[in-house]
Structure 1
Amino acid sequence: MTSIERTAYPRFKRLITAHELHLFFSPTREEAAWAAERMDADGHQLALLLALKSYQRMGRFPKPDEYPEMVVDFVRRAVELPEGTTALWATGRTAERQRTEVRRRVGATYDQARARRIAEESVRKEAAAKNRPADLINIALEKVVEAGLELPAFSTFDAMASKIRGEVNASICTGIHDRMSAVERAELLRLLEERDGDGTTLYNRLKKPAQGPTWSHFKNLTRRLEWVDGLGDTSVWMDGVASGKITDFAGEADAADASELRDFTPVRRIALIACMAHKARMRVRDDLATMFCKRIATKIKKAKAELEEIRLAEREIVEALIGTTAPCSSTSTRAALPRSPWRRPRP
């Protein structure tokens, strides 16, 4: 069962601030007069006002035990009912008549069959791409609210999302299974049985992450890519499957070991391993590109350092040559130099 806290299903918060109480649960004078006209007893008036304000806030009628004491006490004091007044909740036809009065006042439509139909259509459509039940429930809630309909119970949404999600996932797994050849299916199942050099199954080889960017690791990663590619063309297997579904199925396969996967039905087992292989092919290619870039970056960094060393050495040589061949600047030194015999005397 999906936790209601993980969804957007409207409910009372555990902690309601004074600002929220005044903003959402404070009855107007018109609403207080409306409740007084329809109910004689103070307890019934309080219950009707609680149902009205809750419906305005949440689009549904909470159960009597859902109302926080602070909300009940705030509404009672807001309409100046006597201290100690408790909400008297009607049952049966009387309760239904009161709910009809509330719906009429807020302009809501009560059509549970239509609300369930809208929710089911939206869940079935989105289940082809999304896998988390909470996400499916939130989408169904949004569509029902947009239609201006009263929300069904949370259990209705939860059961619907679980059922449709299972049907859609089974259909996706069957499609992946049927797009594979018998040889390819046998090759994937072999991963759960055969052992690698370290004693683990070949299936665990699909999970191994890339190591440091060394030349030996690069060669090992290249061989792993060849091995994964040899399992089959996973892009054909995943034709028409949403990337989110592939990621979720691969994550489910990654969280399980070989012995746990053997407990799955054959179709689902093969589909999960196929998604794992598809993600492994993508990851190995990404790791190869990343490792290649890191290796090139290391070479470039080393080359730049060597080039700087050469530049500094050349600079020292040039400076030494300049120091030994520069013309003398003092007059005495120039006078001491021998006169060239080919130089004409000044007039």
Structure 2
Amino acid sequence: MTSVERTAYRVFPRLMMTRELYLFYSPSEEEAVWAREKSDADEHLLALTLALKCFQRLGRFPKSREVPPVVVEHVRRCLELGENVMPVYASPRTAESHRVLVRRREGVGYVPAKARKIAAMAMTKAAWVKNDPADLINVALERLVQARLEPPAFSTLDSMESTIRGQVNGQIFETIWRRLSAEDRARLAALLVVGPGGKSDLDRLKKPPRRWPPA
């Protein structure tokens, strides 16, 4: 599995700096007014504001367990809510309605099938010139941002990348193999033959070059 830290897929940092809290997670006065107008309880107000600020920063809706407590506490203080107020929903329907409100406000669409199709097309095209998994995922993320679509889960992108890269690499290898003459194929096969010393010609080819000039 590709490390998410090596890609542009945004996650919360392990250590949240105070500057980042104030810069990215402080709701503006207009945002606070908007959230209050759309909420019917303090818990929903906190949950909606958190969803908005997290979406603005990450480009997606994180699971509740992903959100650092320090972010929850910061947004709660900004809204001047009591310490006992938690970002909880009365029902899944309310949570989904809040996500719809945030997407509409931010001008981002939620069309999973279309997002996966766009990501797959971007990865397939890039895989002919790039082979690093993180590079392919980043190409897909960039294309989704341009299309104003919410990205799939990272595990989905990672699985897509692995499948597509394998398919494209297979096509590249097959094309090269077809272009080789019988003599070329025989020479490649001979590289794998282990000699008396327990080494093959491939082992010798992989050996690092000697330092030059010699010490």
Please give the alpha-carbon distance, in whole angstroms, between the structure 2 residues aligned to 1:103 and 1:194: 61
| Aligned residue number for residue 207 of structure 1 | 206
Query: What displacement does 1:113 show?
Result: 2.3
5+ residue gaps, structure 2, are none
TM-score normalised over the length of structure 2: 0.91
TM-score normalised over the length of structure 1: 0.58
Cα distance, 1:164–1:31 mapped onto 2, change above 3 Å: same
Query: What displacement does 1:43 show?
Result: 1.2
| Aligned residue number for residue 161 of structure 2 | 161
Q: Which has the higher helix share?
A: 1
Assess if the C-alpha contact under 8 Å between 1:54 and 1:62 holds in 2.
yes
| Aligned residue number for residue 68 of structure 1 | 68
* Aligned: 1:179 with 2:179: yes
Write the mapping of 1:80-119 to structure 2, written as runs, cut at 5 A: 80-89=80-89, 91-119=91-119
5+ residue gaps, structure 1, are 214-293, 295-347
* Aligned: 1:7 with 2:7: yes
Please give the alpha-carbon distance, in whole angstroms, between the structure 1 residues aligned to 2:104 and 2:200: 65
Cα distance, 1:199–1:79 mapped onto 2, change above 3 Å: closer
Assess if the C-alpha contact under 8 Å between 1:46 and 1:75 holds in 2.
yes
Please give the alpha-carbon distance, in whole angstroms, between the structure 1 residues aligned to 2:55 and 2:38: 18
Assess if the C-alpha contact under 8 Å between 1:54 and 1:60 holds in 2.
yes
Cα distance, 1:79–1:134 mapped onto 2, change above 3 Å: same
Assess if the C-alpha contact under 8 Å between 1:192 and 1:201 holds in 2.
yes
Please give the alpha-carbon distance, in whole angstroms, between the structure 1 residues aligned to 2:205 and 2:42: 69
Write the mapping of 1:1-347 to structure 2, written as runs, cut at 5 A: 1-89=1-89, 91-195=91-195, 198-211=197-210
Aligned length: 214
Q: Relative CO higher for 1 or 2, CA cutoff 8 Å, sep ≥ 6?
A: 2
Assess if the C-alpha contact under 8 Å between 1:9 and 1:154 holds in 2.
yes
Identity of aligned residues (%): 54
Query: What displacement does 1:52 show?
Result: 0.6
SS of structure 1 residue aligned to 2:65: helix
SS of structure 1 residue aligned to 2:60: coil
Please give the alpha-carbon distance, in whole angstroms, between the structure 1 residues aligned to 2:109 and 2:64: 22
Please give the alpha-carbon distance, in whole angstroms, between the structure 1 residues aligned to 2:191 and 2:100: 62
Q: Give 1 or 2 for the bigger CA radius of gyration.
A: 1
SS of structure 2 residue aligned to 1:10: coil
SS of structure 1 residue aligned to 2:195: coil
Please give the alpha-carbon distance, in whole angstroms, between the structure 2 residues aligned to 1:152 and 1:164: 16
Please give the alpha-carbon distance, in whole angstroms, between the structure 1 residues aligned to 2:148 and 2:85: 33
- Residues 25-48 of structure 1, C-alpha deviation per residue, up to 9 Å, x if partnerless? 111222222222222221111111
Please give the alpha-carbon distance, in whole angstroms, between the structure 2 residues aligned to 1:5 and 1:89: 30
